[in-house]
Amino acid sequence: MGNKLTFSAKQITGIAVLLALVIVLQAVGGTVSIGVVQLNFTLIPIVLSGILFGALVGALTGFACGVVVLIQVIMGIVPFYTIIWMGDPVVVALTCILKTTVAGFLGGFIYNLVSKKNKITATFIASAIVPTVNTLLFIIGCLFMTNSVYAMAEGQNVLVFILVSIVTFNFFIELAINLIVAPALNRVFKAIKF
């Protein structure tokens, strides 16, 4: 489907389901906390949308996720969100929107490139690219949050503070979840022939 910009009714339904799933998971339950580790399932439909419907749809679902995250940040649902929003609202807004949008686009784009050689390998690469790009852009965004993240670091090396205190194990958990669940669900969607 890669670069195709027209979709059948069945494909539009699939896109709508994945878009709704992203919004619902991010808004009301896509993250399960176990101690300090958060299991985030929201990136899975972003991966699937890029694999099944191309880079632009991957970007669309990533954008929707970013908007929901931004709303949660503005509402101060998590104390960390309140701190970073108060200190660096423009950087936070850009980070929220861009990280999942770019991750969704790149997941679909890279899947399209690699799938010409091997669809299974392409699925695993896309499943790894989305959480990796999402986390990398989050880290870069945090490095520009000079009024909030730098203040929280309290004299520590800011990059080490971000990697250890903010990102912790979440990246590895998200990566593992995506590498297990996204390829399995992709097989289901392919069987339905979206």
- Please answer whether residues 84 and 145 qualify as being in contact, where contact means their C-beta atoms are separated by less than 8 angstroms: yes
pLDDT tens by residue, 20-66: 999 998 888 766 665 545 567 899 999 999 999 999 999 999 999 99
Burial class (CB in 10 A: 0-12, 13-18, 19+), 164: exposed
Spell out a b/e string for 101-119, using b for 16 or more CB atoms within 10 Å of the CB, else e: bbbbbbbbbbbbebbeeee
Domain boundaries, the chain: 9-192
pLDDT: which is higher, 187 or 175: 175
CATH of domain 9-192: 1.10.1760.20
Residue type, 131: P
pLDDT: which is higher, 117 or 188: 117
pLDDT of residue 9: 86
pLDDT tens by residue, 8-30: 888 888 899 999 999 998 888 76
Phi, psi values for residue 43, rounded to 5°: -75, -20
Measured distance CA(74)–CA(58) in Å, rounded: 24
pLDDT: which is higher, 131 or 172: 131
| Alpha-carbon Rg for the chain in angstroms | 17
pLDDT of residue 93: 96
pLDDT above 50: residue 192: yes
pLDDT above 90: residue 90: yes
Measured distance CA(141)–CA(114) in Å, rounded: 29
pLDDT above 80: residue 189: no
pLDDT of residue 188: 82
Burial class (CB in 10 A: 0-12, 13-18, 19+), 165: middle
Tokens of 181: 């669940």
User: Average pLDDT in the 65-89 region?
Assistant: 87
Residue type, 189: F
- Dihedral (C-alpha) 184, 187, 191, 192: value to the nearest 10 degrees? 70
Residue type, 178: N
Per the listing, tokens 């940040």 go with: 73
Phi, psi values for residue 38, rounded to 5°: -115, 125
pLDDT of residue 112: 96
pLDDT tens by residue, 100-155: 999 999 999 999 999 999 999 999 999 999 999 999 999 999 889 888 888 888 88
